[in-house]
Amino acid sequence: MEKIKKAVIPAAGLGTRFLPITKNSPKEMLPLVDKPAIQYVVEEAVASGIDDLIIITGRGKRAIEDHFDKAFELEWVLKAKNDSAALEEIERISRLADIHYIRQKEPLGLGHAILCAKKHIGDDAFAVLLGDDIVFSDVPCTKQLIGQYEKSKASIIAVEHVPPDRIESYGVVKYSGAGTGDEHMYRVDDLVEKPKREEAPSDLGILGRYILTPEIFDCLEQTKPGVGDEIQLTDALRLLNNEQEIYAYEFYGKRYDLGNKLEWLKTTFDVALSRADFKEELLRHIKKAIEAIE
Ligand code: G1P
């Protein structure tokens, strides 16, 4: 059976919602405690059986390449210090996967970023993982989508129910029951990128995990700039939906949207609380902070 072996991780965005930190540092390198956001995404792809990754970068994104590269000097220092735990972790990161980098030369949008990977992907279906979304789940979200792809052989988009006040931030699907025998799978009838609240066709918002058939590239080539004057993946999926069935899958797990400062802070907080080395002291600190306000 044809396996999903390749994934595209767009990381070329300018990160304007995170200024000033993103003036000279990639948004994808923002840490959740001590691990950059993009490492969570790469690890999810690897845990889903994908070993060939294409990260779409751009100007000012060198820190991403350095992070996944071998760090000789650091390894040498850690060896001299006999810090084997840190050494093992540093070496593991550089061996995670076969990572290729393609530069998007102009900020023309998410759809255009994915189109930059066309030659490397070729004629195979592939995964897309957006770094703004981190998913914590027993089975990695991308692996869940691959499982569905293996049954349907169609493009699959991960979705979740989104509260009305957040819907304008996402792509939204219009759907119907697919008769797939799986109550989490829906047939996509239409898609809209960042609709106005009153125009949203449902409350199922797209999160940044997709399995796409290679025909998406022809659709991306035909897609005109849409919301924000950018070439949108959601608009290309609309075109693809005219030719092929597309499914939406309500994944199992907890998603964090790192798309803005407050959500990033909340995610950092939850990740810290999930760690035994920080939990107690952090809770004590927050209790004190609350008492000081009251
Ligand atoms: C992108 C997609 C949107 C999707 C979202 C998920 O938007 O265009 O359809 O719902 O990611 O995070 P962005 O957040 O890049 O504006």
In a domain? residue 158: yes
Which residue lies with its CA nearest to atom 15 of ligand 1? 110
Mean pLDDT of 272-292: 94
Residues 70 and 164 in one domain: yes
Residues 250 and 287 in one domain: no
Position 178 scores a pLDDT of 58
Residues 13 and 86 in one domain: yes
Cβ–Cβ < 8 Å for 169, 161: no
In a domain? residue 282: yes
In a domain? residue 222: yes
Position 294 scores a pLDDT of 83
In a domain? residue 293: yes
Tell whether ligand 1 has an atom less than 6 A from the beta carbon of residue 267.
Answer: no
Residues 169 and 67 in one domain: yes
Query: 98: which strand partners?
Result: 52
In a domain? residue 175: yes
Counted domains in the chain: 2
Distance CA 86, CA 107 (A): 36
Instruction: Please give the mean pLDDT across all residues of the chain.
Output: 95
Residues 12 and 103 in one domain: yes
Copy the structure tokens of residue 170: 């996402």
Give the torsion sign (CA, 138, 42, 161, 18): positive
Residues 252 and 268 in one domain: no
Residues 187 and 244 in one domain: yes
Question: Any idea what the CATH number is for the domain that residue 169 is in?
Answer: 3.90.550.10
What tens digit of pLDDT does each residue of 108-157 get?
999 999 999 999 999 999 999 998 899 999 999 999 999 999 999 999 99
Which residue lies with its CA nearest to atom 13 of ligand 1? 170
In a domain? residue 13: yes
Position 199 scores a pLDDT of 95
Copy the structure tokens of residue 95: 């061996």
In a domain? residue 1: no
Which residue lies with its CA nearest to atom 6 of ligand 1? 207
Instruction: Convert 85-114 to b/e letters by CB count within 10 Å (16 or more is b).
Output: eebeeeeebeeeeebeebebeeebbbbbbb
Residues 255 and 207 in one domain: yes
Residue 227, number of CB atoms within 10 A of its CB = 14
Distance CA 161, CA 250 (A): 8
Residues 282 and 152 in one domain: no
Tell whether ligand 1 has an atom less than 6 A from the beta carbon of residue 132.
Answer: yes
Position 179 pLDDT exceeds 70 = no
Residues 16 and 78 in one domain: yes
Position 259 scores a pLDDT of 87
Residues 176 and 288 in one domain: no
Long-range contacts, 19-27 (Cβ 8 Å, 24+)? 24/60, 25/60, 25/63, 26/57, 26/60, 26/61, 26/63, 26/64, 27/131
Mean pLDDT of 239-244: 97
Which residue lies with its CA nearest to atom 10 of ligand 1? 170
Position 180 scores a pLDDT of 65
Domain that holds residue 51: 6-259
Tell whether ligand 1 has an atom less than 6 A from the beta carbon of residue 130.
Answer: yes
Residues 248 and 208 in one domain: yes
Supply angle C-alpha 46, 49, 51, rounded to 5.
60
Position 177 scores a pLDDT of 78
Distance CA 148, CA 154 (A): 9
Nearest ligand 1 atom to alpha carbon 133:
12
Supply angle C-alpha 268, 269, 272, rounded to 5.
85
In a domain? residue 39: yes
